Amino acid sequence: MFVSERIRRARPLLGTFVEIETDGGPALLEQAFAAIGRVERLMSFHRPDSDVARINTHGATGPVQVNAGTFEVLKKARLLWERSAGIFDVTREGRFEAVRLTGAREVHLAAAVTLDLGGIAKGWAVDQAITVLAGSGAGFAVVNAGGDLRVWGDTAIEVALREPDSGRPGPAFQLAGAALATTARYQPWSGRRPETGVRSRGRVAGRTALRSVSVRAPHCWQADALTKIAWLQGESAASLLREFGAEALWLRADGSTAQTGGWA
């Protein structure tokens, strides 16, 4: 098999840095970044012409037609909302029941709610880039959008978990043919709070004792969303994780760990 040179590039996208590495060549790399750019244009909360902004501005007065990709993400958000009994909710008000998805890719808001796809769109963008790279005959690809990442191909990669307090790369694990996302508690070194994208329905016992949770799943949209649920629910998220073919690794403040998936 012809082995090509790997190229690795990073660009500012989705509000963070998106890194793509592949042996598929520069033209393919460009197409993969373009796929990320498309998700940003459609689902950015801030861009006034994105589908999300149009729904938030006009969705309560009538149906808003959106791009197929946006509609797909909304359907996945609804699935997660249903399966997590409302814990995962992409409306800021915690009222996803007001979001109506009708035929012909239309979105209608039955009440004045604000959609924010930040808890799932980044992961989905990673999946779109991987689809471009995987469909071309590339042997290897890694797409990493600010810590939400997915690896494709025969090679395993080593991923380091950033320590929440210091920001340094910490413990590492292997990843092959899967996606990974992590939620950690307040990281003063970066000056930013962790994204949640979930409405907490009240304090969950043991949550404040968590330093981070990482979720491995087949697709990055799953890892992205499930990591927020696993952060809030702790180990009681185990059955939901299994439903999506995902596993989680919780690091607690005292240095101990918990895992799902059948390993000690």
Q: Which residues bind other proteins (CB under 8 A)?
A: 8-13, 15-17, 19, 21, 26, 142, 144, 146-149, 151, 157-164, 166-176, 178, 180-184, 187, 189-192, 194-195, 212, 214, 216, 247, 249, 259, 261, 263
CB of 20 to other proteins, least distance (A): 10
In contact, 39 and 128? CB cutoff 8 Å = yes
Alpha-carbon dihedral 231, 204, 192, 220, rounded to 10 degrees: 20
Q: What is the CA radius of gyration of the chain?
A: 18
Nearest to 223 by CA among 114, 81, 80, 13: 80
Q: Provide the β-strand partners of residue 99.
A: 109
Residue 111 CA: distances (Å) to CA of 8, 44, 78, 104, 185: 45, 21, 16, 21, 32
Nearer to other proteins, 67 or 187 (CB): 187
Nearer to other proteins, 99 or 133 (CB): 133
Q: Provide the β-strand partners of residue 141.
A: 22, 152
CB of 194 to other proteins, least distance (A): 6
Nearest to 60 by CA among 102, 99, 89, 117: 99
CB of 105 to other proteins, least distance (A): 30
Nearer to other proteins, 70 or 182 (CB): 182
Nearer to other proteins, 98 or 258 (CB): 258
CB of 127 to other proteins, least distance (A): 16
CB of 69 to other proteins, least distance (A): 22
* Cβ neighbours of 202 (radius 10 Å): 5
CB of 107 to other proteins, least distance (A): 28
Nearer to other proteins, 170 or 206 (CB): 170
Nearer to other proteins, 45 or 173 (CB): 173
Tell me which amino acid residue 105 is: R
CB of 106 to other proteins, least distance (A): 32
Nearest to 233 by CA among 187, 197, 264, 201: 201
Tell me which amino acid residue 88 is: F
DSSP 193: P
Q: Tokens representing 45?
A: 């909360």
Nearer to other proteins, 187 or 200 (CB): 187
